[in-house]
């Protein structure tokens, strides 16, 4: 909507360290628990809790067990941001 996208993601285990130079990124936990590590600490989100990671801030999502998360970012944003493309990188144009 209006140049932004909602993405529903299923996370388990460690994501990669990355940042998004051009977009803030909002995480809203729909089911389970999500920890977001920062270089200077970590925040744990329970179901129904949300956090906005400002553009340019390095972070690494982690879920000990499967977690369902709504992610909100600018359209076309690569999920792994400035990290080298890898197994966790998905097509930003994919729709469900």
Q: Which residues bind its own copies (CB under 8 A)?
A: 1-2, 4, 6, 23-24, 26, 28, 30-31, 48, 50, 52, 54-55, 70, 72, 74
Q: Nearest approach, Cβ of 58 to its own copies (angstroms)? A: 17
Nearer to its own copies, 8 or 42 (CB): 8
Nearer to its own copies, 5 or 89 (CB): 5
Cα separation, 14 vs 88, whole angstroms: 10
């Amino acid at each position: 909507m209006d140049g932004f996208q909602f993405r529903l993601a299923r996370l388990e285990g460690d994501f990669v360290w990355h940042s998004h130079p051009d977009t803030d990124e909002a995480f809203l936990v729909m089911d389970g628990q999500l920890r977001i590590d920062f270089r200077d600490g970590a925040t744990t989100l329970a179901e129904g809790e949300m956090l906005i990671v400002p553009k340019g801030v390095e972070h690494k999502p982690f879920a000990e067990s499967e977690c369902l998360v709504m992610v909100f970012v600018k359209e076309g944003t690569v999920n792994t941001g400035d990290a080298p493309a890898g197994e966790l990188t998905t097509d930003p144009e994919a729709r469900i």
